[in-house]
Amino acid sequence: NEVTVSNDTRFERVSSQLEQNNTLAFVEAFIDNKTCIVAGSTWQEDHVLFGDYIKSSKGDLKFIIAPHKIEKKGVQKLKNSFGDKAVLYTNYNLETLSKKQVLIIDTIGLLTKLYHYAAVAYIGGGMGTKGLHNTLEAAVFGVPIIIGKNYDRFPEAKAMLAQGGLVSVQDTSSFKKSLDSFVEDEDFRHVCGQKNKAYIDKNKGATALITEKILTEITM
């Protein structure tokens, strides 16, 4: 009788992002009204999935990749793997940005706003052993999510997977199949994304509950 279980305050935190100004002029110039896939907090194991897909994709798809580690050597290696298709955030030219297909974010502090522009989000960390990164930051924007194969320690990923808003991939073949299904079917993409948004909305309320309990104790 002395215990109350609340939801996770992280759901409030990511929901507050919707109240911010999430517009980024350089991203809008880069996307140029095309379908955009945002890959956040990625590692080398995640980049393997994207390599062949991007190289063989048409110009009507745009990719924003925000690596988890932004050390210069690794970022440059990633850019070089895509050749002239790619440009670094710290080196873009606004006038020619729309001609590029891959934008690599080699700085911190932009990722939560980038998900605002995602038609599909890929969350890194799950293909290796580093640990899956924050799926809630993308889910709040109502976009479908793709993750890697290692997510056992992440209950929110399991929940969104069960509800149909998130898919887990094992290799490049399953990655291509999953991403193609989202890219080619806008209605399917929307339905899956809204399932993630509903999951966020359903689990809000922790802050109000905690505040209520504290105020109750103070006034007793």
pTM of the model: 0.92
**Cα dihedral 7, 9, 13, 14 in deg (nearest 10):** -40
Give the mean pLDDT of 34-46: 97
Residues 139-168 have a mean pLDDT of: 97
Please give the pLDDT value at position 185.
Answer: 97
How sure is the predictor about 180, in pLDDT bands with cuts at 50, 70 and 90? very high
pLDDT of residue 9: 80
Q: How does pLDDT run across 11-31, given as a tens digit for each residue?
A: 988 999 999 999 999 999 999
Handedness of CA 14, 132, 86, 142 (dihedral sign): negative
> What per-residue confidence (pLDDT) applies to 218?
84
* Least confident range of 7-16, 100-109, 191-200: 7-16
Checking if the pLDDT of 176 tops 70, the result is yes
